[in-house]
Structure 1
């Protein structure tokens, strides 16, 4: 069977994959079937078609916004621009957002949006038209608002699109005091938060780093504790993959391979991520990077020898036909749904540790939550406590120097005296969130003797959602 026909034969409904994982977790819970069905179902699916004049022609644009769960409000989830956008994908990503938020204690219901366009071939002017019209359609149906549904960037979107959404919302709802909180991922100058851009990649780093600190888990896969010297392969050099690669490189891990759509590059001694990015900007491709070997089939890069494999691009890239050839001992799911249920079973039998997407890539929504809180409070993080902390640290250093009769070097003194900046507080909050989330999943896995971290993560999420519904008095 050819690869093309093979992929067709293996085509999964993305949403059904999530349902399979949900059902595995449900076996560990004593919850009525009807309640479980309510949690699984998408509460609201808004499919729209609207006309936009592009050049001299009018084009009808297909778009979606899905609110998966209203157990907590507002709903939260990104908007992606891709020609591959469809209802199944958007529903699935909305569901993942619900579980993701529950696991890391972010008080949102899950949502997701998508516009079926290729942003690579559409001018910025026309993307702005589409974005603003999409926003107005969301406002008409009450699918956006600080306390209702708060979008964010996703594949194909960024700060630019979020600023257009905010501006459109404000123009239609003038005078709304909390309008800044209608969308996150905005430029810092428009109420965005420092540290949002790298948040998902940094969260991936924190999550994998925490697993690598666990002696029991590392012994089970024959690895030493820590990240230093670990061989890492990353598929996808978008926002998430790039930042994850950078943080792993800085921590002493060896990035042996990087994969993109056009192929992959490999060097067993390690790749300098910054230099690879410069090469990519210069040539338009990561291929032919100096002192590296080209791999034409990007999927083959997943099968190379490594300690940690991080798929940070597309769903279903590890499936039943290549799972047995995966040599990684740890897989960190930076992308949504990169491992199919069949591959999950195969890898589990091989003893591979998989850190699931519904926990590992929650860094983005965690920092989006911080931005939302900042917008509602109308105060920049660090503004009130920075000077107080600096003054307290100055007095403390003076006491230490007087007691020890020794001057502290100037550079060290500067580091100690500096009060917390916004980015320091954001990263500290993200690190704490990812560490706590990991240990809740791990502890639940051990206490209930659950077979893997993915199922334990779903059990944790479902329990928290049920608890929210019970507190609302919705369920008997």
Structure 2
């Protein structure tokens, strides 16, 4: 086994200059500053003017609220944030996370990434993000509902939520349950809004959700990595055969994104060599059965004791192990100067937001690694959120109007072919050939096309300008936003 289990030794602090910032292991930039560095690096390759760049980079609006919640007979003050980075396209779009680590700069950074992400994949939203500074594990379900509804009330009162204003979605610590509470609270305060279900995405199907939303981000990660592995220049750089089959993968984070990414890689022939969580990591060079590990953790609360893999209590050593593809799908700033030089993966696919610091990005690329950036690779969630939002506005399930028509058309064509074929088809073959697309199949198809187009646009810009993929994706994003701003003009232009 190639895994190194020895204790990590403290190495001297390394310094590294990144876009004018002198970073060391002990002094790397904050998340918001890191996003700004990536923006500045791409800005010089864009077509935008200096004035437009200032406009794009700045955050439009930030809401900070505090409100009391009773817990165990005591009053606890809860702090929440919502950032609208850009309103060049409306509504703003972005998740709401529940985490004790939430702060203003994190929310602003994530909302900026959402702006750039939506532009990269041509989703017509501005960037938003929100968070409540709590650890969900410390609160009961009833208490979490009160907190969620009260925060939604604050958003309603300040005009920070609505189908045409700002549309939240699930993020770290939240899911369909919380989105249902938000939608219900919004509806109670806006009973006349017939499209009120579109005020939030990531809802349960019974509340207007869309099939395929739960797995969307993980599926988008798979589509993006699969696409990059087909590029000859990537294959040459990392020495890879270009196929998912037998590709070794390590995934950090086994939440919704990491789990579904692992499932899609595994089902398409990849070997999931390692899965890393905050307390333990599972490692098996021959491959881990993802569903078995998922069910084990669900029953036992952690990976500890899982019989079909080596369980490691220094999880970051698995992150640094040999593999073809590394998928950081946890939180931001997981790969920095402290460990960038230890990463052995050939391709890093950023499923999380901001998992690689700017200085670490330079180290990885200098060591011959290919990085598929977060603003491109994890856009699957917002793409399918867009589909859900459009479904809610149209009040029509995808496939409802055309499914039977497609099946009848295929049946007529099949009858014509069968009349000239040598043998009749079996009933199973007939059903497979005439099958009309269901909602989740249309969602998968739309997401796949979106990711393929965005990956190819990023590749073309990178090759044309001879820049890395992160800078190329950000450059494309800036150009699209600048074009939108230029097209809309200004009410003050011809005063």
Q: Identify the residue that residue 95 of structure 1 maps to in structure 2.
A: 112
**Does residue 410 of structure 1 match 2:451?**
no
Q: Which runs of 4+ in 1 moved over 6 A?
A: 5-8
Alignment: residue pair count:
474
Q: Identify the residue that residue 293 of structure 1 maps to in structure 2.
A: 310
**Does residue 110 of structure 1 match 2:127?**
yes
Q: Identify the residue that residue 221 of structure 1 maps to in structure 2.
A: 238
Q: Identify the residue that residue 361 of structure 1 maps to in structure 2.
A: 378
Which of 150, 170, 181 lines up with 2:198 in the alignment? 181
How far is the alpha carbon of 1:2 from its aligned partner? 6.3
Q: Identify the residue that residue 475 of structure 2 maps to in structure 1.
A: 459
**Does residue 208 of structure 1 match 2:220?**
no
Aligned partner of residue 242 in structure 1, secondary structure? helix
**Does residue 23 of structure 1 match 2:46?**
no
Q: Identify the residue that residue 240 of structure 1 maps to in structure 2.
A: 257
My pick for the range that moved more, 171-180 or 454-463, is 171-180
1:174-200 per-residue CA deviation (whole Å, 9 max, x = no partner) reads 121111111111111110000000000
CA distance in 1, matches of 2:111, 2:429: 46
Q: Identify the residue that residue 17 of structure 2 maps to in structure 1.
A: none
Q: Identify the residue that residue 451 of structure 2 maps to in structure 1.
A: 434
**Does residue 419 of structure 1 match 2:436?**
yes
Q: Identify the residue that residue 81 of structure 2 maps to in structure 1.
A: 64
With over 3 angstroms needed to count, the CA separation of the structure-2 counterparts of 1:265 and 1:172, relative to structure 1, is same
CA distance in 1, matches of 2:107, 2:255: 20
Aligned partner of residue 323 in structure 2, secondary structure? coil
CA contact (8 A) 2:25 2:337 kept: no
CA distance in 2, matches of 1:55, 1:193: 38
Alignment map for 1:284-323 (pairs within 5 Å): 284-323=301-340
CA distance in 2, matches of 1:363, 1:29: 25
Aligned partner of residue 256 in structure 1, secondary structure? strand
**Does residue 280 of structure 1 match 2:303?**
no
Q: Identify the residue that residue 152 of structure 2 maps to in structure 1.
A: 135
How far is the alpha carbon of 1:55 from its aligned partner? 3.7
CA distance in 2, matches of 1:421, 1:30: 41
Aligned partner of residue 9 in structure 1, secondary structure? coil
**Does residue 152 of structure 1 match 2:169?**
yes
CA distance in 1, matches of 2:273, 2:465: 37
Aligned partner of residue 310 in structure 1, secondary structure? strand
CA contact (8 A) 2:48 2:479 kept: no
CA distance in 2, matches of 1:287, 1:304: 20
Q: Identify the residue that residue 472 of structure 1 maps to in structure 2.
A: 488
How far is the alpha carbon of 1:288 from its aligned partner? 2.7
1:413-453 per-residue CA deviation (whole Å, 9 max, x = no partner) reads 11112111000100000000000000000001111222x10
CA contact (8 A) 1:49 1:63 kept: yes
Q: Identify the residue that residue 119 of structure 1 maps to in structure 2.
A: 136
How far is the alpha carbon of 1:68 from its aligned partner? 0.1
CA distance in 1, matches of 2:25, 2:165: 38
The structure whose RCO (Cα within 8 Å, separation 6+) is larger is: 2
CA distance in 1, matches of 2:300, 2:158: 45
Alignment map for 1:332-351 (pairs within 5 Å): 332-351=349-368
CA distance in 2, matches of 1:291, 1:14: 37
Q: Identify the residue that residue 44 of structure 1 maps to in structure 2.
A: 61
CA distance in 2, matches of 1:77, 1:216: 33
Aligned partner of residue 348 in structure 1, secondary structure? helix
Aligned partner of residue 136 in structure 2, secondary structure? coil
My pick for the range that moved more, 125-134 or 31-40, is 31-40
CA contact (8 A) 2:46 2:476 kept: no
How far is the alpha carbon of 1:322 from its aligned partner? 1.1
CA contact (8 A) 2:48 2:478 kept: no
How far is the alpha carbon of 1:294 from its aligned partner? 2.1
CA distance in 2, matches of 1:185, 1:411: 34
Aligned partner of residue 327 in structure 2, secondary structure? strand
CA distance in 2, matches of 1:282, 1:164: 27
How far is the alpha carbon of 1:11 from its aligned partner? 4.7
CA contact (8 A) 1:299 1:317 kept: no
Aligned partner of residue 134 in structure 2, secondary structure? coil
**Does residue 171 of structure 1 match 2:188?**
yes
Aligned partner of residue 97 in structure 2, secondary structure? strand
CA distance in 1, matches of 2:46, 2:258: 35
CA distance in 2, matches of 1:10, 1:298: 23
Aligned partner of residue 276 in structure 2, secondary structure? strand
My pick for the range that moved more, 70-79 or 6-15, is 6-15
1:346-377 per-residue CA deviation (whole Å, 9 max, x = no partner) reads 11111100000000000000000000000000
Name stretches of at least 5 consecutive residues in structure 1 with no aligned partner. none
How far is the alpha carbon of 1:171 from its aligned partner? 0.5
CA contact (8 A) 1:203 1:434 kept: yes
